[in-house]
Structure formats: C-alpha cells, structure tokens
C-alpha cells in the first residue's frame, strides 16, 4: 500500500512494553476487564491501559492545568506511590472542571492491534428500541454552515468547526463494556477510550487523532483535518481517497491546522519536523488528511500536558482565529460540548504521556447516549457536504450500539 494510503500510526513509544514477547490475550484481557464507574480504559496503537479506582483527583482552580497535575502527582509520590499517573478527560471549555484522577492501580499491556485475539468476533449489539433526536436538525445545521461561510467570505474569520449531536435513548440499560469492545474491534489501531466524565456520566469513543505525546525529550503530534466518507465499493473508496488528496478546499483546511500546530509547538523545541504534504489515514468510516509532526524538546521539564495545553484547541476542532471561532461556536451550537473536542489521555510524574482529541465519541448517562460529530467549515465549504460528513462520522458509534441514523 502506498505511504499516502496508510493506516493510522503512532511513531512514538508512549510507554515501555510490559514484556519482550507479549502473550496473546494480554491486551484483550484488559479490554474485557473494564467496568464503568470505577475504571478508566485507554488503548492506543502503542499500549493498552486499564486504571482502576481513585486515589486523588485534579482540582479546578486558577492555576495552569499542568501545574495542578504536577502537584497532585508529586503529592502521591510523597505518600509512597512509586509511579503515579493521571488519567481521564478534559473538556473543550477551559473553564469547565477536568475529569482527571490518579488511579489506585494501573495495568498495562501491548497495543490491541498486536493482540491476535482482537480479530475474534466481538459481542453483537443487543436488540432494542432506540429513540433518536438530532440536535440541531440537519436543515438547521446546514443553515448554520451557510451563515458561517458567508461571514468567512466577508473576511470575518478563516475557519470554524461546527458540530451537531444525535441523542439516543434506549429501551434497556446500556451495556458500556460491550459497546467499548465493539468500538475497539472496529478499529484496533485507533485510540479507544472509556472514562468517567462527570457524576453518573461516562465518555466512550474511538478517536483517530493524537493531539500530542511526549516520550523523554521527543514529542509527536498527528493533526487530522480534511475528511471524506469511506465507501463499501473498493473502486469508489480509492477514488474518494485520491480526490481528498487533491482537494484544494481540504488541503487548505489541513494547512491551517498544521500551521497552528507548528506555531504552538515551535517554542518548546530545538528541532521540529513538519512534512510538506499530508498523507491519508483511514478509519472504518472516514478518510482523513494527516500530518505527523515530530520534535525534540528544548526543555525536558515541558510535560505532555504543557504541550497539550499549548495546542488545545487546534483549528481542527475549533477554528481560527481561536477566540472568534469559539464565539461562532457558542452562537451556532444549541448544546454544551462538554468533553467533546477536549482531550483524553494520561501523564506520568516524569511528564511523559499521550493525549488524544476527543472525537468519534458519545457521553452515556442512564439509558441515554449523546453522540457528537463536527465538520471543519471554510469559505469553500458546502452546507450539504458538511452535513453529510457529520452523518458519516456518526456511523462509527452507531454501529457499536446497533442503531441507525
């Protein structure tokens, strides 16, 4: 397969392997052991992590997030925790409380994609009745996109990411462990997660996008921007991939994001490598333009959360200029994003860690699920195409719960 049509990869190594020769079933055992409420599950293309219990929580106050996390980790080391980490989710809004905690115990395994048992069929979605409600309705969403396009063509701003939600209510109790297993098997090379996001709420999803990872003095970021739905027909699927690689609209959208990532990370680095052209990555539902950025840190004290905080929110999930895009989002979206387009991940006391952009996700509460999907809107955008793109992005999660749009 050409390099431009590769699977998502993560060139960094976020954590040491647990053994030189991993045994079949190590990673899937952690996936099967996940229990909502008490556990936090994270799987990347480099490792699988299951954190249980809560030893300490990261508070919300006026100090920078990275400082608060460092203080909590240092406090845990002083009471005898030899290798504490924080795990959890951060919201889109910087003023909202984090859902980050130091677990009582952590189990690690190699990547799910390296476990041959992940290829075995997962649990089928249980039959049930789903009530669905789109917020906003597709026509209203398209109207918001059209209004944003008019403002961009008038020169007010360059890009905004507008989202919509799909609210699902089930006739039976949600089986979150089974839902997580289906998501993981659907795309074992992606970033699968299930973490508490508030009292009685769980954030569950499978993101294709690494925000940033730090391993020693090396950082990696993998911004995605510019997308096209996959096709079940092989010839049509390849045509869509090739078209995306040459799309002026999508290449411009991607370039805006990569430039912002370069600008945010450059002050931390003595070296920063940014490829001139994007490649493609694929998920089960979408093609994405992708650029893998790597760098060498100038200050070894810069933690993964220092880097993530400098990046968040990128134009891939917000827009540019950031403040204007945030205002347009607040005016256009009739819901609170919560953890959607925030970040989910982990960091240890050395500052190493990995943080993923919280997309292709849903928030579960009781018998309800709220799914989120967004599209990057630029001056060349079509309201119909962006509405269709959000519908395609919903498919990742709908297939995991046995529902249809």
CA 111 to chain centre: 17
| Cis? peptide before 130, omega within 30° of 0 | no
What is the Cα–Cα distance from 165 to 141, expressed in whole angstroms?
Answer: 10
Considering the candidates 114, 209, 253, 386, report the single residue annotated as catalytic. 209
Contact criterion met (CB below 8 Å) for 197 and 137: no
Active site residue 159: yes
Residues 392, 278, 235, CA angle at the centre, nearest 5°?
50
**Residue (of 121, 303, 113, 327) closest to 216 by Cα position:** 303
Catalytic residue among 26, 114, 134, 159: 159
* Distances 376 to 54, 145, 219, 244, 382 between C-alpha atoms, Å: 37, 10, 26, 14, 11
d(CA 379, CA 109) in angstroms, rounded, equals 45
For 375, the enclosing helix (H) or strand (E) is strand 368-377
Per the omega criterion (within 30 degrees of 0), is the bond before 313 cis? yes
3-state DSSP assignment of residue 365: strand
**CB-side neighbour CA atoms (13 Å) of 90:** 27
Scan for tokens 């090396």, then name that residue. 218
Helix or strand holding residue 186 (H, E):
helix 176-186
Q: Is 209 a catalytic residue?
A: yes
First vs last Cα of the chain: how many Å apart? 33
HEC assignment per residue over 158-183: CEEEEEEEEEEEECCCCCHHHHHHHH
**Spatial distance between the Cα atoms of 370 and 364, rounded to a whole number of angstroms:** 7
Catalytic residue numbers read 159, 209
């Amino acid at each position: 397969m050409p390099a431009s049509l590769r699977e998502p990869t993560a060139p960094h190594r976020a954590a040491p392997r647990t053994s030189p020769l991993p045994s079949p079933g190590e990673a899937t055992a952690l996936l099967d052991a996940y229990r909502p409420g008490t556990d936090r599950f994270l799987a990347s293309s480099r490792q699988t992590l299951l954190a249980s219990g809560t030893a300490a929580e990261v508070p919300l106050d006026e100090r920078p997030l990275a400082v608060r996390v460092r203080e909590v980790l240092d406090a845990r080391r002083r009471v005898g925790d030899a290798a504490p980490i924080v795990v959890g989710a951060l919201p889109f809004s910087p003023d909202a409380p984090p859902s980050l905690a130091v677990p009582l115990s952590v189990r690690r395994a190699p990547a799910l994609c390296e476990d041959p048992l992940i290829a075995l069929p997962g649990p089928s979605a249980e039959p049930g009745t789903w009530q669905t409600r789109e917020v906003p309705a597709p026509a209203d969403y398209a109207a918001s996109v059209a209004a944003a396009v008019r403002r961009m063509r008038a020169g007010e701003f360059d890009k905004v990411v507008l989202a919509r939600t799909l609210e699902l209510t089930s006739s039976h109790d949600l089986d979150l462990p089974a839902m997580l297993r289906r998501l993981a098997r659907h795309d074992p090379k992606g970033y699968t997660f299930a973490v508490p996001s508030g009292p009685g709420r769980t954030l569950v999803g499978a993101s294709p996008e690494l925000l940033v990872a730090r391993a020693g003095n090396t950082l990696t970021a993998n911004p995605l921007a510019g997308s096209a739905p996959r096709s079940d027909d092989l010839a049509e699927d390849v045509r869509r991939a090739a078209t995306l690689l040459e799309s002026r609209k999508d290449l411009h959208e991607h370039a805006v994001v990569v430039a912002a990532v370069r600008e945010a990370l450059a002050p931390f680095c003595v070296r920063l490598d940014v490829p001139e052209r994007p490649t493609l990555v694929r998920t089960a539902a979408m093609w994405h333009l992708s650029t893998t950025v790597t760098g060498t840190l100038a200050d070894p004290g810069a933690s993964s959360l220092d880097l993530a905080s400098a990046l968040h929110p990128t134009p891939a999930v917000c827009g540019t200029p950031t403040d204007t895009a945030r205002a347009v989002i607040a005016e256009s979206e009739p819901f609170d994003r919560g953890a959607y387009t925030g970040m989910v991940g982990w960091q240890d006391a050395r500052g190493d860690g990995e943080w993923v952009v919280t997309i292709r996700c849903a928030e579960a509460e009781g018998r309800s699920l709220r799914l989120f999907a967004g599209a990057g809107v630029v001056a060349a955008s079509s309201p119909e195409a962006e509405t269709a793109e959000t519908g395609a992005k919903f498919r990742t999660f709908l297939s995991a719960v046995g529902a249809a749009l």
